[in-house]
């Protein structure tokens, strides 16, 4: 059987902890004594069962997003731009290359660049070698470039990219100043008339404010509840053409 691309599990530690805590709560509820502490059992057992089920359900929804929903979300984001095929694209926080590769498949003479700092807590198997392997397996090696870079200090020239993409990345920057700096860098490397599409489940109001301060027109789409978990919003920023 031919090897298939693997885009990993987002926040694998969170998924593992949700499953573990949920299962632990259910086991505690089942094991509560029936006689000696009957009164305590009466109050705690349904609570432990309910919370355990909630945690396990959340972990399951995160896995469903990782294996199915994020591909639908990627395609929805990419459809927000009318592709010519000659664009230069930057994917900030590319991980295993989901957005970068998706964009590359819409290019003919253009090029798609993905950057990341490769933190294992953000994505399972988050190493540059696996991203390059996905690029190879997807048949877009001639249109992709993968680099190790920090979103807060991009090495690219101002106005270098027609399209900037980012999904579930910027919230991992630990402070507001750093997130604002990353947004300013995104605005800087956008060409006049270019577009940035930034998807996240929190901190999107910060991105809107920082991008507006950088001089781009910006709006935020509402959260998607059907096929993303946690529900994701998309910030759209357009740089004035002149």
The domain segmentation of the chain, as residue ranges, is 12-70, 76-238
- How far apart CA 168 and CA 92 sit, in angstroms, is 10
Residue 39's pLDDT is: 53
184 by Cβ neighbours in 10 Å (0-12 / 13-18 / 19+) ranks as: middle
Residue 36's pLDDT is: 47
Least confident of 10-14, 16-20, 31-35, 63-67: 31-35
Average pLDDT over residues 219-229: 81
- How far apart CA 96 and CA 118 sit, in angstroms, is 9
Average pLDDT over residues 137-165: 97
Residue 35's pLDDT is: 44
pLDDT band at 40 (very low <50, low <70, confident <90, very high): low
Task: Report whether pLDDT(47) > 50.
Answer: yes
Assess contact for 145 and 114: CB atoms under 8 A.
Answer: yes
Average pLDDT over residues 150-164: 97
The predicted-structure confidence for 68-117, as pLDDT tens digits, reads as follows: 999 999 999 999 999 999 999 999 999 999 999 999 999 999 999 999 99
What class has domain 76-238?
A: alpha beta
Number of H helices, E strands in the chain: 7, 7
The contacts of residue 213 (CB under 8 Å, 6+ apart) are 180, 184
Q: Where are the alpha helices (DSSP H) in the chain?
A: 12-31, 38-64, 70-78, 98-104, 128-137, 176-189, 204-213
The predicted-structure confidence for 166-183, as pLDDT tens digits, reads as follows: 999 999 999 999 999 999
- Torsion sign over Cα 119, 121, 127, 131: negative
Residue 108's pLDDT is: 96
How is residue 64 annotated by DSSP?
H
Q: Where are the alpha helices (DSSP H) in 163-227?
A: 176-189, 204-213
Least confident of 29-33, 89-93, 118-122: 29-33
Q: What's the pTM?
A: 0.91
């Amino acid at each position: 059987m031919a090897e298939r691309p693997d885009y990993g599990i987002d926040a694998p530690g969170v998924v593992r902890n949700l499953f573990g805590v949920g299962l632990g709560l259910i086991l505690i509820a089942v094991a509560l004594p029936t006689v000696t502490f009957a009164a305590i059992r009466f109050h705690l057992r349904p609570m432990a069962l309910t919370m355990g089920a909630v945690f396990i359900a959340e972990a399951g929804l995160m896995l469903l997003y990782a294996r199915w929903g994020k591909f639908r979300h990627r395609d929805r984001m990419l459809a927000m731009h009318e592709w010519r095929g000659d664009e230069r694209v930057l994917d900030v926080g590319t991980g295993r290359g989901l957005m970068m590769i998706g964009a590359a498949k819409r290019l003919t003479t253009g090029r798609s660049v993905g950057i990341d700092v490769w933190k294992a807590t953000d994505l399972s198997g988050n190493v540059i070698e696996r991203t390059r392997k996905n690029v190879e397996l997807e048949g877009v090696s001639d249109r992709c470039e993968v680099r190790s870079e920090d979103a807060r200090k991009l090495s690219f020239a101002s106005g270098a990219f027609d399209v900037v993409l980012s999904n579930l990345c910027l919230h991992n920057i630990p402070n507001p100043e750093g997130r604002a700096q990353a947004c300013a860098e995104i605005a800087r490397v956008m060409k006049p008339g270019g577009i940035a599409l930034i998807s996240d489940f929190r901190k999107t109001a910060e991105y809107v404010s920082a991008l507006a301060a950088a001089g781009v027109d910006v709006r935020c789409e509402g959260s998607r509840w059907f096929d993303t978990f946690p529900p994701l919003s998309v910030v759209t920023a357009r740089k004035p053409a002149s």
